[in-house]
Amino acid sequence: MTFYALGNLDDRIKNADQLITVDVAKFSNSLAEIYSNLAKPVLDMFIYNWQLSRNVGGEGLFAMALLVQVSANMMRVLTPPFGKYVADEARLEGEFRFSHSRLIDNSEEIALYAGHETEKTTLDKGYFTLIKHVNYILRRRLYHGMMEDFVIKYFWGALGLVLCSVPVFIKVPGASVATLGDRTEGFVTNRRLLLSSSDAFGRVMFSYKEVTELAGYTSRVSSLLDVIDDIHRGHFEKKLVSSASTDANATILSGRGTVTEGPNIEFTDVPIVSPNGDVLVRSLTFHVRPGQHLLIVGPNGCGKSSLFRIMGGLWPVYGGAVVKPPPEDIFYIPQRPYISRGSLRQQIIYPDSHLDMSLRGATDEDLMRILETVDIAHIVRDDGWDAEREWREVWSSGIQQRVGMARLFYHRPK
C-alpha cells in the first residue's frame, strides 16, 4: 500500500524501488565501513600523540596541531560536495534502471510497434547522462586526491620532521642532558611515532570523503523515510493539474473525509479526485445493500475505476463519508488480474496460502468445480495443482481474467 502511494499519490520520491533495493544497501555498507575506518585511527592518534608530547614537549605538538587544523579546514573548504554528487548519481542510476524495467514490462507492445530504435535512444540518453556525471565525479576526486596527498604526505610530513628535530637542536624543558647518540636515538623514535600518528591522521582525513558519501546516502534514505511517514499520516504532495487552481477545487482538496466499516456500501457527498488533483465528481452519494446489484457506466476518465480505488483504500477520501464492508467481505476483479509466482493452486486461492485453504475446509476438488464454472478446467494438466510455471506467459489474457473470476468463487465474499 505504501509503495503504491509513493508512486501514484506523491511526487517527492522518484524510483522508490531503487531507493529501497540499492540505496539502503549502500547506506548500510557505507555506515559499516565508517566505523572500521575511524575507530582504530582515532585510537592510534591518541596513543602516539600522547607519547610524542612526552618526548618533544607539549608546546611543539600544540603548534603543529594548530597548523594541521588550519590546513585541514582549508582542505575541507576546497573539498567538492561529494555527498550531493553521490545522491545525484544514485538518482540517475535509479532512472536508468527504471527505463529497463519498463522495457521488460512492455516488451510485447514495443515489439509490435517496432519501437526498438526509439527505446534505444531513450536508454542511450539515460546511460550517457549517468556516465557523464560519473566521469565528472572521478575528475573531481582526482584533483582533490592530488591536493589531499600533497598536504598529508608532504606538508604535514615536513612539519612532523621539524617537530622531531626540536630535541636534537634545542633542550626540551624538564629533559636531562643527553649525548648526541641519545638525541639521534630519540629523533628516530620520535620520527617513527610521528609516522604512525600521521598515518592514522591521514586515514581519518581520507575517510572524510567516505563521510560525505555517507551523507549523500543518508539524505536519500532519510527523505524516503520522511515521505513514508507523511503518507502514513495521510499527507501527500503532488503537482496538481490546472483545474485544481480554482477556489472550489482547492476547498475540496484541502479536506478529508471519513471511512468506516459496515454491512453496506455507502458513499455520502464523497468527491472523486484523481491523484493529480483533477476533481472528477464533486459529490457522489449512493448505497448498495446486500442483495442489490449496481452497474456503473460512463466514458473513459469519468471516475469508474477511481471509485474502486477509493473503496480499496488506495486513494484518500477528500470529503464526505464512506461506509464499506470489512476487507474479507468484499472482493475485486481488476481489468488486469495479478498473476503471482507459484503453483497452479496458488493462482486460484490467491492471496491465501495452502494452509489458509485447509483452514477454510476447501479441497482440490472444490477448486476443480470452480474452474469448471468459469470454463477453464483444461488448464489443470498432467502435473496437477502443484505445477509451477511463469503463468503470465503461459496463459492468454482471457484465461488470466477467468482465473481472476475463479478467485471470486473461491473467496465467496458477501
pLDDT digits (tens, 9 = 90+) for 91-111: 888 888 888 888 888 887 787
The number of C-alpha atoms within 13 Å of 245 and in the hemisphere containing its C-beta is 3
410 vs 333, more confident = 410
Residues 213 and 144: beta-carbon distance below 8 Å: no
pLDDT at 382: 66
Beta strand 388-389 with 342-343 is antiparallel
Beta strand 258-261 with 321-324 is parallel
Torsion, Cα 152 153 158 159, to 10 degrees, reads 20
pLDDT band at 72 (very low <50, low <70, confident <90, very high): confident
Range with the poorest average pLDDT among 165-174, 191-200, 311-320, 360-369: 165-174
> Above pLDDT 90, what percent of the chain?
17
Residues 22 and 94: beta-carbon distance below 8 Å: yes
Three-state DSSP class for 51?
helix
Beta strand 321-324 with 279-288 is unpaired
Kindly state the average pLDDT of the residues 208-229: 86
pLDDT at 6: 84
Instruction: Give the bridge partners for 265, in sequence order.
Output: 288
Average pLDDT, the chain: 81
pLDDT at 281: 87
What are the backbone dihedrals phi and psi of residue 189, each rounded to the nearest 5 degrees, phi first?
A: -65, -45
Q: Which of 55-64, 88-97, 181-190 is most confident?
A: 88-97
pTM: 0.59
pLDDT band at 381 (very low <50, low <70, confident <90, very high): confident
Instruction: Give the bridge partners for 185, in sequence order.
Output: none
Instruction: Give the bridge partners for 176, in sequence order.
Output: none
Residues 18 and 97: beta-carbon distance below 8 Å: yes
Please state, in angstroms and rounded to a whole number, the distance separating the CA atoms of residues 174 and 169: 15
pLDDT at 309 over 80: yes
Domain 2-232: give its CATH code. Answer: 1.20.1560.10
pLDDT at 366: 92
pLDDT in tens, 231-273: 888 787 777 665 555 666 666 767 788 889 998 999 999 988 8
In the 8-state DSSP scheme, what is residue 263? S
Instruction: Give the bridge partners for 46, in sequence order.
Output: none
pLDDT at 143: 84
pLDDT band at 187 (very low <50, low <70, confident <90, very high): low
pLDDT at 97: 86
What are the backbone dihedrals phi and psi of residue 283, each rounded to the nearest 5 degrees, phi first?
A: -155, 115
Please state, in angstroms and rounded to a whole number, the distance separating the CA atoms of residues 223 and 201: 33
183 vs 204, more confident = 204
Q: Which residues of 11-45 are buried (b: 16+ CB within 10 A; e: fewer)?
A: eebebbebbeebbbebbeebeeeeeebeeebeebb
H or E segment at 279?
A: strand 279-288
Count other Cβ atoms within 10 Å, centred on residue 357. Answer: 19
pLDDT at 207 over 80: no
Range with the poorest average pLDDT among 163-167, 233-237, 327-331: 163-167
pLDDT at 14: 79
pLDDT at 374 over 90: yes
pLDDT at 399: 92
pLDDT band at 321 (very low <50, low <70, confident <90, very high): very high
What are the backbone dihedrals phi and psi of residue 363, each rounded to the nearest 5 degrees, phi first?
A: -125, 170
Write down the domain spans for the chain. 2-232, 243-329, 342-411
pLDDT at 401: 92
> Above pLDDT 70, what percent of the chain?
80
pLDDT at 265: 92
pLDDT band at 367 (very low <50, low <70, confident <90, very high): very high
Kindly state the average pLDDT of the residues 351-365: 89
Task: Tell me which residue has cell 555517507.
Answer: 214
Please state, in angstroms and rounded to a whole number, the distance separating the CA atoms of residues 104 and 390: 14
pLDDT at 28 over 80: yes
C-alpha distances out from residue 149 to 33, 42, 68, 152, 157, Å:
21, 19, 14, 5, 11
